[in-house]
Amino acid sequence: MLPYNFDYYKPQSIKEAIELYQLLKLQEKKPMYYGGGTEILTLGRLNFIYTDAIIDLKGIPECNAFGFQHQELIIGSTLSLRAIEENKLFPLLSDTSKEVADYTSRNKITIGGNICGQIFYRESVLPFLLSNSTVIIAGPKGTRKEFINEVFHKELRLDEGEFLVQIVTEKEYLKAKHISVKKRQQWKTGYPLLTVASLKKEGFIRFAFSGVCPYPFRSIQMENKLNDKSLSFKDRILTSFEYLPTPVLNDIEGSNEYRLFVLENTLSYILSYIGGEEHE
Amino acid sequence: MNSHSADRKVTIQLEINKEQYERDILASDILLDVLRDKIGLTGAKPGCLNGDCGACTVIMNKQPMKSCLMLAIEAIDSEILTIEGLKNTPIQRAFVEHFAFQCGYCTSGFIMICQALLLNDRNPSPEKIETWLSSNICRCTGYKEIEKAIYSVIELLNIKNQTNQ
């Protein structure tokens, strides 16, 4: 049971959703866009999130899109992680998504919700960072299309009243050699210690991380070090750590020392798997 | 556009176990609470209320769903199946025969996830069984008996399938 009640709206178009949000703001309400709603409901129950108006985006056709247009894969923000897991149009995304939470929860968690949520792991964003995908964002000023690497800094930077409509990925990235590794201290579900996703494009290996720092990230400096063929795998990995954007997380899931130990081993495995051509 | 105000109760219709139920609810009411408190179907259990344990699992449109992670209002126009709708089914009997429970609190959730899996795949791989069952937590049994129960139903379904061919 939630400790408060709210209005519930299910608009059928982008325009309707945005106008509704603005109207509710004018009425001095605190509206929230709602995809799967798992975070709103669980954090709301604990009073960590408050809203008095829910705008459920699942009735908007563009948010439910899933398929190819021209040479691009279009993924609607309200698609469930299960749908993405089972329709393997973007294998790296399927591999990464299927490790989020558990099977039943993935029926409810949406890709947009996972990317825009408060829980800092947000693993579903990693494949999009690696494939330089674009995001379609709708808001009071209209619809904008941005490279995700331009607008995702710690989190997806949305202005007031905006929401994520779609993520667009060029077809060439879908078949690239890839791997996604999620490490937990124990058990097969639940929160991770860390997740590393990797994709090889034109001989260069890209890396994106979740659970290492307090937000998901892709670091070009780390990638450059990890691709330095003049160094052994171990030296590449250890020098890449100098470019971690923040101190490594130290929490109930694992200490910072343990995380670095696991990260080193994980990166070593990924380099071997994906073909990092170790210097002798 | 569907819209429901916080200032008043809304009347919704839900299809549960092939029966229609009409109830007055608040827009913020969680499906689990509506099932238990407003409809009297107490088989779905409140466990963690955080989407972690699976004790509240129901089947919606043939897919397992944690009813603590869903607003009742989102369940309109869906076919909902709860443990009460699985009376005398092979999976229920298998849980009894294989003693796939101890304290019993998680049992209805486990039966629902098993039934959902069998609705989607009559011959799931061991890996798939493990993935689906990982959605639910039991702190008594060690899971082996639960696995035996589902395997026994898969075997039963395959025998029936062969007999019908």
Nearest to B38 by CA among B63, B11, B60: B11
Q: Residue B26: its chain A contacts at CB < 8 A?
A: 5
Q: What angle do CA B117, B118, B124 make, to 5 degrees?
A: 75
Tell me the pLDDT tens digit for each residue of B149-160: 999 999 998 887
Give me the residue from A4, A9, A42 closest to B1, CB to CB.
Answer: A9
> What are the phi and psi torsion angles at B130 (to 5°)?
-65, -40
pTM over 0.75: yes
Residue B45 confidence class, pLDDT cut points 50, 70, 90: very high
Give me the residue from A10, A41, A52 closest to B30, CB to CB.
Answer: A41
**Confidence at residue B165, expressed as pLDDT on a 0 to 100 scale:** 63
Q: Which of B74, B80, B143 to mutate to test the interface with A (most CBs of A within 10 A)?
A: B74
CA distance A33 to A16: 12
Inform me whether the pLDDT recorded for A280 exceeds 50.
no
- The answer to whether A14 and A60 are in contact (CB under 8 A) is yes
Nearest to A108 by CA among A41, A8, A14: A41
Q: How far is CA A164 from the centre of its chain?
A: 12
Nearest to A84 by CA among B37, B88, A74: A74
**Confidence at residue B96, expressed as pLDDT on a 0 to 100 scale:** 96
Which residues are CB-contacts of A164 (< 8 A; sequence separation ≥ 6)?
A77, A112, A115, A116, A135, A136, A137, A156, A158
Give me the residue from B5, B29, B51 closest to A105, CB to CB.
Answer: B51
Q: Residue A54: its chain B contacts at CB < 8 A?
A: 27, 71
Interface check B67 vs A, CB under 8 A: no
**Confidence at residue B111, expressed as pLDDT on a 0 to 100 scale:** 98
Q: Please report the residues numbered 97 through 136 in chain B whose beta carbons come closer than 8 angstroms to any beta carbon of chain A.
A: 113, 130-132, 134-136
Q: Residue A56: its chain B contacts at CB < 8 A?
A: 2, 74
DSSP A33: E
Name which of A51-65, B21-35, B66-80, B133-147 the model is least confident about. B133-147
Interface check B6 vs A, CB under 8 A: yes
Query: CA of A103 to nearest chain B CA: how many angstroms apart?
Result: 6
Query: CA of A112 to nearest chain B CA: how many angstroms apart?
Result: 16
Nearest to A169 by CA among A98, A257, A69: A69
Buried b (16+ CB within 10 A) or exposed e, A138-169: bbeeeeeeeebbebbeebbebeebbbbbbbbb
Tell me the pLDDT tens digit for each residue of B6-35: 667 899 999 999 999 999 999 999 999 999
Which parts of B32-104 are beta strand (E)? 57-60, 63-66, 79-81
Cβ B69–A52 below 8 Å, yes or no? no
CA distance A205 to A176: 10
Tell me the pLDDT tens digit for each residue of B53-88: 999 999 999 999 999 999 999 999 999 999 999 999
> What are the phi and psi torsion angles at A30 (to 5°)?
-115, 80
Query: CA of A6 to nearest chain B CA: how many angstroms apart?
Result: 5
Cβ B6–A5 below 8 Å, yes or no? yes
CA distance A85 to A124: 11
Q: Residue B29: its chain A contacts at CB < 8 A?
A: 1
Interface check B3 vs A, CB under 8 A: yes
Tell me the pLDDT tens digit for each residue of A118-152: 888 999 999 999 999 999 999 999 999 999 999 99
- Residue type at B94 in one-letter notation: A
Cβ-Cβ pairs closer than 8 A, A with B, add up to 99
